[in-house]
């Protein structure tokens, strides 16, 4: 008769966490890699509910998956959850879970968990670099548009003074928008700066830009922070210094 192999040593030697839970969600087994991952001894972890070693968000995901697994309605064995080590630090886990049977009777759940914290960090770095690349590409497109408009301006200068002025205003506006984006402002911020420069009150600005007076007050406070200004006049002066607003021949401001 062929001897049934004992996989205990194999499981204990794995680099990934292997665990079993009873039908109440309490740990009934966790291998050495799992204990090392969490920083607990076996007697500190066995008998505890799995949600006790997960963050609140991770616990919600894992509990939902556990309940679906017990009910036999799970659609995928994989899920991700963030766990909390004994020292309070967190670790990102990718878990593959399944039902645990004995003599064809469901007695709990079992799974393998892998530390993917490094992978998550790399993914975040790639996403950040992708965002920066997208910003650079957008800036490059803005620059090319400016070059084109400047070329149009130069070619039209001798014969079309009005066209030249319009092109100049377009270039100035494009530069203002590019500068605003670089310091964290958007088109509505520029519109509020224009209205400040024209001497409008918060109530008047709120009506013109379709925001509440309270929101306008917050936006003005934001502008003061961006420009390190103490008054509305200083905001306008700093905006002009950055090239965000300027004077047209009739004394109005442009963006």
Residue 252 pLDDT level (bands cut at 50, 70, 90)? very low
**pLDDT tens digits, residue range 122-157?**
887 777 777 776 666 666 666 666 666 666 655 555
Residues near 215 by beta carbon (within 8 Å), at least 6 away in sequence: 206
**Mean pLDDT, the chain, whole residue set:** 81
150-159, 169-178, 218-227: the lowest-pLDDT one: 150-159
**pLDDT tens digits, residue range 34-59?**
999 999 999 999 999 999 999 999 99
> Is the separation of the CB atoms in 16 and 36 below 8 Å?
no
SS3 144: helix
Residue 111 pLDDT level (bands cut at 50, 70, 90)? very high
Q: What is the pLDDT of residue 198?
A: 87
Residues near 85 by beta carbon (within 8 Å), at least 6 away in sequence: 37, 38, 39, 91
CA distance 96 to 114: 9
Rg (CA), the chain: 31
**pLDDT tens digits, residue range 193-219?**
889 988 899 899 989 988 898 898 998
């Amino acid at each position: 008769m062929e001897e049934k192999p004992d996989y205990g040593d194999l499981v204990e030697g794995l680099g990934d966490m292997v665990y079993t839970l009873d039908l109440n969600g309490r740990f009934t087994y966790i291998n050495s890699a799992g204990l090392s991952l969490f920083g607990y001894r076996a007697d500190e972890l066995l008998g505890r509910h799995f949600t006790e070693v997960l963050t609140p968000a991770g616990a919600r995901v894992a509990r939902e998956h556990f309940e679906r697994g017990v009910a036999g309605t799970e659609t995928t064995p994989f899920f991700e959850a963030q766990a909390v080590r004994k020292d309070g630090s967190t670790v990102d886990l990718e878990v593959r879970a399944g039902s645990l049977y004995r003599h064809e009777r469901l007695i709990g759940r079992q799974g393998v968990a892998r530390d993917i914290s490094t992978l998550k960090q790399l993914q975040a770095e790639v996403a950040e670099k992708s965002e920066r690349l997208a910003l650079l590409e957008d800036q490059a497109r803005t620059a090319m548009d400016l070059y084109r408009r400047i070329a149009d301006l130069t070619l039209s200068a001798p014969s079309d003074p009005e066209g030249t002025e319009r092109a100049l205003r377009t270039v100035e506006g494009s530069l203002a928008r590019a500068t605003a984006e670089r310091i964290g402002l958007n088109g509505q911020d520029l519109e509020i700066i224009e209205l400040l420069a024209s001497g409008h009150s918060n109530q008047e600005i709120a009506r013109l830009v379709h925001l509440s007076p309270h929101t306008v007050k917050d936006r003005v406070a934001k502008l003061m922070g961006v420009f390190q200004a103490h008054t509305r006049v200083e905001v306008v002066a700093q905006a002009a210094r950055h090239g965000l607003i300027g004077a047209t021949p009739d004394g109005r401001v442009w963006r």
